[in-house]
Amino acid sequence: MSLAPDLVLFTAAYPFGTSSETFLEAELPVLGARFRRVFVLPSHRDEGARPLPDNAELVEMPWLDDASSLRRWGALASPAAVGSYARTLAAREGNLGVYLGHYRRLYADMLARELLKERWLQEWLERMGLRDALGYDYWFVNSTLALARVRASGGFRAAVARAHAFDLYEDRWPGHRVPFAEEKARGLDRVFAVSEHGAAALRRSLPGQRETVGRAYLGVERPKEEATPPVPLDDEGAPPLVVSCASLKSRKRIDLIPESLARLERPVRWVHFGDGPERERVEAAAAALPDRVEWTLAGHVDRDEVLAFYRRRSVDALVSMSEAEGLPFSMMEAIAHGIPVVAVGVQGVPELVGEDTGILLDPDAGPLEAAAALTRALEPGRFDRGRIRAVHRRLFDAESNYNRFCDVLIDCWQAQGPAR
C-alpha cells in the first residue's frame, strides 16, 4: 500500500461529543495508518471528546466561534458571493425560484459562513504549508462549499466528499434542493455516496457531474467473538428478544414498533436504544402494550454498550420502521453480530437487508405488515446467523472497506499532480 501525504478531514463535530459521527471511530484509525498526517477540522463544538490516532491532530478553526452578522454580511457583499450565487441560479432549471424563495436559509446565512470558512481555510493552508494535501469532507453539507472553492483555486491537490442521506436526498430540503450542490460538485474531484441508491440520486440531481459521483460503503468492525455464543442464562427459555436502535425522531416512526408488537400472538421482549424528542409519544405507545410484551426504553446508550449487549444477549431480530435512511449503521452492526433485520425497504436499506439478512417491508407498510414479518423472522431456524455475518464480512467490514476507500483517495490525489 502506498502512503499518501497529508489529509485534511472536515467533520460536523468529531472528535467533539460522544455519540455523533460514530462511523468515524472505525474509519479514522485506517486513515491514520494510510496518510502521513491527518488534520481534523470540525464545524461545531460539543461536550466531551474522543481520542484521535497518534498522527491525527484536532484543529480548532475560527469558524467554531460564530462569526458576527457584520462579517457575514461583508462576505455576502464580495464578488465571490455574487459568482457562486449566479452560477447556482443558472445551473439548473427551477433554482432561481427555490433560492429566492428560501433566500435567508439557502443563501444569506449558509453562503456567508462558507465564504468565511474559505478565507480562514486558505490562510491556514498557507501557514501550514498544506497546499499539496488532500481535502476530505465527511458530509456533502458541512464545509463542502468552502472546500470546493479552495480546491478550485489550487489550495488543495485534490478534494472529495462523502454523501450520506440528509446531505444528498433533495426531499430533505426546502424547495427540494441540496444547497449549492452543483457549485460544490463542480469544485470537487469526487463525491462518494454511502449507498448505490444515494449515488443514483446524486447522478440524477447532478447530471453535469455524473462521472465524478461514486459509491463507497461505510463499515463496522467485526465482533471480537464471531462464534455464536451460548444462550445466556437469563435468556434461556425466555421469549424472543427484539431490539431497535435509533434516535426518537418522527421520521424514525419508533411509535409504530409497539403497535406492531401488540399484534404478535406470542410473548416477546423489546429493548429500544436511543432517545429524542418523540420519547413521550413512544412511551405512550409502549404503555399500551399487552402484558405478554416486556419492554424497555433504554434511552441514550453508548455504542460500546450496545455492542456489548449484542455479544451478551441472544437477540432474535432488529426492527426498523424508519421512513428515510441512508445506509443505516445500526443495521450494519446487527448483521455483523448475526442478527436478522426487519426494516422498511427505503433508500439504501435494501443494500443491507436481503433474503440472507432479514425481511424487507414495503414503504407503505404499517404495524400489521410489520407484525407478520416479525412473526416469520422469529420462527426457529428462519435465518442462519453465520450467513448473516458472511454478508457483513463481504460488504460492510470496516477494515476492508476503509482500506479500499483509502486506495481510491490516494489514486485520486496522485492523478491530479502537484497543487498550483
pLDDT at 419 over 90: no
* Grid coordinates of 98: 427555490
Cβ neighbors of 346 (< 8 A, separation 6 or more) are 322, 323, 324, 325, 363
171-230 tens-digit pLDDT: 989 889 999 999 999 999 999 999 999 999 999 999 989 999 999 999 999 997 644 455
pLDDT at 6 over 70: yes
Which domains are delineated in the chain? 4-219+398-416 (3.40.50.2000), 241-395 (3.40.50.2000)
Classify each residue of 148-182 as buried b or exposed e, where b means 16 or more C-beta atoms within 10 Å of its C-beta: bbbbeeebbbbbbbbbbbebbbeeebebebbbbbb
**pTM: predicted TM-score of the whole model, two decimal places:** 0.92
Alpha-carbon radius of gyration of the chain: 23
Separation between Cα atoms, residue 244 and residue 190, nearest integer Å? 34
Evaluated on CA atoms 140, 146, 147, 150, the torsion sign reads positive
pLDDT tens figures, 82-109: 899 899 989 889 989 988 888 777 778 8
* 3-state SS assignment for residue 363: coil
Residue range 41-64, pLDDT digits in tens = 999 999 989 999 999 999 999 999
